Amino acid sequence: MSKKGENIYKRKDGRWEARYIKTYRVDGTARYGYCYGKTYREAKQKASEAKAGLLLGLPSDNAAQRHRFSVYCDEWITLNRSRVKESTYVKYRGMLEKYVKPYLGDCRVQTLSSVLIEQFSHELLSEEELSPKTVKDILTMLHSVLKYTAMQVPELLPKIEVIYPKIPKKEARVLSREEQTRFVRFLSQEIDGYKLGILLSLLTGMRIGEVCALQWKNVFLQERLVTVCSTMQRLRDLSENGEGKTKITISEPKSNCSTRVIPLTDYALTLLQKYRNNDPEAFVLTGRSDQYIEPRLMQYHLERYTKACQLENVHFHTLRHTFATRCVEVNFEIKTLSEILGHTNPNITLERYVHSSVELKRANMEKLAAVGF
């Protein structure tokens, strides 16, 4: 057997075996219990649970199987299936099946603790190498599952504090004015559906899924308006015939405030007039109702175009950040900008999407000359 610390071994049959002390004999020698798992983590978790069960005086047989945490995870996700958007449900299911249940699912409810949840969080960060933002999302969902569990078996679940990882603040990438001019000039040559979609995102602040889902029935050229009322996503297919595959879905936008009206600039209006289509069901980027451009392809082409323009670290959200920053630079009213971006609160716009350029900072600092600085 190969050993990997904490009295855990890999057997010749490929399984992992974790040993723990169940009791001591009269002569003082230890009597061991054994737990097996397909992975090191599974064996370790079973042994930790068994040791905790001994401390709490819990039975070692399967009589308490109904109090496994995985039971309440499954109940919680089933109850929320019709309460949340499909994309949210798929996200929750994925986090439960990939992370929460493999680590905590076999635990009896009585053995859950703040320390165990912290160990789970630490492993996600260190072993799984997930970002702090992703770990926080998982823990936020886990907190909801724990609240549900506490409602079902209040006498069993101890009080648990969930400690969230600190998310480092990263400065978002924003195109400089020179980069923006160079990129727009490149995109304006031999425009196709991909270039049109990228330009629309840069000129209106629309998200990638919103641009891909945009149909001509949502464009009002005479009124110089675009209505955002749907978004396109590629999600895991959870149907019986899905077999782990993915599918394209078109649904309502991210939130209620994401359904919005965006006025068009002269340049954006000219672009759309050039590609005008009389079929209201046709997608703007393809001109056909039976064919669309999905977000994954848009991202691929954006990468190609930015590489051709020697622009680094540019993603679709960079275009949205750039749009918001340009708006602030021309003294856009923040509440109006917040509504155009589809935010629920203007503070979100200020904190996440508004980035002052060096030129704007310098211009504001020069205003101090009026007061003797």
Q: Is residue 335 part of a domain?
A: yes
Same domain, 226 and 351: yes
Under a CB-based contact definition with an 8 Å cutoff, are residues 35 and 28 in contact? no
CATH of the domain at 69: 1.10.150.130
CA 182/CA 359 separation, integer angstroms: 18
Count how many domains the chain has.
3
Q: Is residue 372 part of a domain?
A: no
Q: Looking up tokens 């986090």, which residue turns up?
A: 95
Same domain, 333 and 190: yes
Confidence at residue 309, expressed as pLDDT on a 0 to 100 scale: 94
Q: Is the pLDDT of residue 3 over 60?
A: no
- DSSP state letter for 97: I
> 316-329 and 295-308 helices cross at what angle (nearest 10)?
70
| Cα 200 to chain centroid, rounded | 24
CATH of the domain at 287: 1.10.443.10
CA 291/CA 246 separation, integer angstroms: 17
**Alpha-helical segments (H) within the chain:** 40-56, 69-79, 86-95, 101-104, 114-126, 132-152, 177-187, 193-204, 208-213, 266-274, 295-308, 316-329, 334-341, 346-348, 358-366
Q: Looking up tokens 């935010």, which residue turns up?
A: 343
Same domain, 143 and 250: no
Same domain, 77 and 221: no
Q: Is residue 373 part of a domain?
A: no
Q: Is residue 69 part of a domain?
A: yes
Same domain, 235 and 298: yes
Q: Is residue 371 part of a domain?
A: no
Same domain, 202 and 269: yes
Same domain, 301 and 343: yes
Q: Is the pLDDT of residue 287 over 60?
A: yes
Distances (CA, A) of 195 to 178, 242, 275, 327: 19, 32, 12, 22
> Which among 56, 79, 94 is the end of a domain?
56
pLDDT digits (tens, 9 = 90+) for 72-104: 999 999 999 888 888 899 999 999 999 999 999
Same domain, 21 and 1: yes
Confidence at residue 185, expressed as pLDDT on a 0 to 100 scale: 95
Q: What are phi and psi of 144, to 5 degrees?
A: -65, -40
Confidence at residue 4, expressed as pLDDT on a 0 to 100 scale: 55
Q: Is the pLDDT of residue 175 over 80?
A: yes
pLDDT digits (tens, 9 = 90+) for 302-352: 999 999 999 999 999 999 989 988 888 888 888 888 888 888 777 777 777
Sheet with 219-220: list strands edge to edge: 219-220, 225-228, 260-263
Under a CB-based contact definition with an 8 Å cutoff, are residues 35 and 46 in contact? yes
Confidence at residue 332, expressed as pLDDT on a 0 to 100 scale: 84
Confidence at residue 62, expressed as pLDDT on a 0 to 100 scale: 44
Average pLDDT over every residue of 345-360: 67
Averaged pLDDT of the chain? 85
Q: Is residue 39 part of a domain?
A: yes
CA-CA-CA-CA torsion sign (96, 100, 106, 108): negative
Type of residue at 269: L
> Which among 56, 73, 96 is the end of a domain?
56
User: Within 13 Å of residue 273, how many CA atoms lie on the same side as its CB?
Assistant: 11
Q: Is the pLDDT of residue 64 over 50?
A: no
Same domain, 127 and 147: yes
Range of the domain at 254: 177-365
pLDDT digits (tens, 9 = 90+) for 185-235: 999 998 999 999 999 999 999 999 999 999 999 999 999 999 999 999 998
Q: Is residue 49 part of a domain?
A: yes
Same domain, 32 and 80: no
Same domain, 74 and 48: no
Nearby residues of 353 by Cβ (< 8 Å), 6 or more positions away: 172, 320, 321, 324, 325, 341, 343
> Which among 10, 28, 56 is the end of a domain?
56
Which of 61-65, 115-119, 221-225, 341-345 bottoms out in mean pLDDT, i.e. has the lowest? 61-65
Q: Is residue 15 part of a domain?
A: yes
Classify residue 223 as exposed, middle or buried by CB count within 10 Å of its CB (0-12, 13-18, 19+).
exposed
pLDDT digits (tens, 9 = 90+) for 242-272: 566 888 888 888 777 788 999 999 999 999 9
Q: Is the pLDDT of residue 181 over 90?
A: yes
Same domain, 299 and 340: yes
Confidence at residue 14, expressed as pLDDT on a 0 to 100 scale: 82
